[in-house]
Amino acid sequence: MKNKNLFAVIRSAFPTDLSATAIESSDSATGATLRLYSWHDIDEQTARIANLLLSLALPEGSRVAVQTEKSVEALMLYLAVLRAGYVYLPLNTAYQAGEIEYFIGNAEPAVVVCSPKSLAWMQPIADAAKVRRVFTLDDSGGGSLIDAAAQQSSVHSIALKEADDLAAILYTSGTTGRSKGAMLTHNNLLSNALTLKDYWGWSSKDVLIHALPIFHVHGLFVASHCALLSGAKMIWFSKFDPNSVLTRMPEATVFMGVPTLYVRLLADARLNQGACKNMRLFVAGSAPLLIETFNEWRERTGHTILERYGMSETAMLTSNPYTPEQGERRGGTVGFPLPGVSVRVSDDQGGMRPEGEIGGIEVNGPNVFAGYWRMPEKNTEEFTADGWFKTGDVGKIDERGYVVIVGRSKDLIISGGYNVYPAEIEGYINDMPGVAESAVIGVPHPDFGEAGVAVVVAKAGTSLDAAVILSTLKTSIANFKVPKRVFIVADLPRNAMGKVQKNLLRQEHAKLFV
- Footprint of ligand AMP on this chain (CB under 6 A)? 172, 217, 285-288, 307, 309-312, 334, 391-393, 405, 408, 414, 419
Quote the strand ranges of 371-506, DSSP E: 389-397, 403-408, 413-415, 418-420, 435-445, 449-458, 485-489
d(CA 161, CA 167): 9
Tell me the residue type at 291: I
Position of minimal CB gap to ligand AMP: 312
Of the pair 3, 293, the CB lying nearest ligand MCA is at: 293
Count of residues near ligand MCA by CB under 6 A: 22
Going by C-alpha positions, the residue among 447, 407, 428, 400 that lies closest to residue 486 is: 428
d(CA 420, CA 439): 13
3-state secondary structure at position 256: strand
Of the pair 45, 179, the CB lying nearest ligand AMP is at: 179
Among 218, 225, 233, 248, binds ligand MCA (CB under 6 A): 218
Residue 289 CB, nearest approach to ligand AMP (Å): 6
Going by C-alpha positions, the residue among 194, 188, 195 that lies closest to residue 338 is: 195
Tell me the residue type at 87: V
Residue 471 CB, nearest approach to ligand MCA (Å): 11
Residues forming a β-bridge with 437 = 457
Q: DSSP class of residue 511?
A: T
Of these partners, ligand AMP, ligand MCA, none, which one is at the site of residue 416 (CB under 5 to 8 Å by kind)? Answer: ligand MCA
Of these partners, ligand MCA, ligand AMP, none, which one is at the site of residue 393 (CB under 5 to 8 Å by kind)? Answer: ligand AMP
Of the pair 265, 414, the CB lying nearest ligand AMP is at: 414
Of these partners, ligand MCA, ligand AMP, none, which one is at the site of residue 422 (CB under 5 to 8 Å by kind)? Answer: none
Of these partners, ligand AMP, ligand MCA, none, which one is at the site of residue 239 (CB under 5 to 8 Å by kind)? Answer: ligand MCA
Among 103, 202, 240, 297, binds ligand MCA (CB under 6 A): 240
Contacts of 117 (CB under 8 A, 6+ apart): none
Residue 418 CB, nearest approach to ligand MCA (Å): 4
Residue 179 CB, nearest approach to ligand MCA (Å): 14
Of these partners, ligand AMP, ligand MCA, none, which one is at the site of residue 212 (CB under 5 to 8 Å by kind)? Answer: ligand MCA
Residue 4 CB, nearest approach to ligand AMP (Å): 24
Q: In terms of DSSP H, where are the helices of 281-329? A: 291-301
Contacts of 431 (CB under 8 A, 6+ apart): none
Residue 142 burial (10 A CB sphere; 0-12, 13-18, 19+):
middle
Of these partners, ligand MCA, ligand AMP, none, which one is at the site of residue 335 (CB under 5 to 8 Å by kind)? Answer: none
Of the pair 25, 62, the CB lying nearest ligand MCA is at: 25
449 binds ligand MCA (CB under 6 A): no
Q: Which stretch binds ligand MCA (CB under 6 A): 37-45, 52-60, 411-419, 491-499?
A: 411-419
Among 40, 178, 239, 506, binds ligand MCA (CB under 6 A): 239
Q: DSSP class of residue 219?
A: I
Among 312, 320, 367, 391, binds ligand MCA (CB under 6 A): 312
Contacts of 411 (CB under 8 A, 6+ apart): 175, 421, 422, 423, 502
Instruction: Tally the C-alpha atoms within 13 A of residue 248's C-alpha that lie toward its C-beta.
Output: 29
Residue 498 CB, nearest approach to ligand AMP (Å): 28
d(CA 170, CA 215): 8
Q: DSSP class of residue 220?
A: I
Residue 35 CB, nearest approach to ligand AMP (Å): 30
Among 51, 238, 286, 318, binds ligand MCA (CB under 6 A): 286
Of the pair 262, 428, the CB lying nearest ligand AMP is at: 262
418 binds ligand MCA (CB under 6 A): yes
d(CA 272, CA 224): 26
Of these partners, ligand AMP, ligand MCA, none, which one is at the site of residue 172 (CB under 5 to 8 Å by kind)? Answer: ligand AMP
Q: In terms of DSSP H, where are the helices of 166-284? A: 186-199, 224-230, 242-248, 259-266
User: Among residue numbers 460 through 499, which ones bind ligand MCA (CB under 6 A)?
Assistant: 479-480
Of the pair 112, 334, the CB lying nearest ligand MCA is at: 334
Residue 147 CB, nearest approach to ligand MCA (Å): 28
Of these partners, ligand AMP, ligand MCA, none, which one is at the site of residue 213 (CB under 5 to 8 Å by kind)? Answer: ligand MCA
Tell me the residue type at 429: I
Please report, for residues 244, 256, 305, 389, the alpha-carbon distance to residue 402 in angstroms, rounded to integers and kept in the order given.
Answer: 35, 21, 15, 19
Residue 446 CB, nearest approach to ligand MCA (Å): 12
Please report, for residues 137, 173, 247, the alpha-carbon distance to residue 168 in angstroms, rounded to integers and kept in the order given.
Answer: 19, 16, 34
Instruction: Tally the C-alpha atoms within 13 A of residue 167's C-alpha that lie toward its C-beta.
Output: 30
Torsion sign (Cα): 132, 170, 159, 61: positive
d(CA 359, CA 394): 5
d(CA 285, CA 193): 16
Among 77, 258, 469, 473, binds ligand MCA (CB under 6 A): 258
415 binds ligand MCA (CB under 6 A): yes
Residue numbers of the site for ligand MCA (CB under 6 A)?
A: 212-213, 216-219, 239-240, 258, 260, 285-286, 310-312, 415-418, 448, 479-480
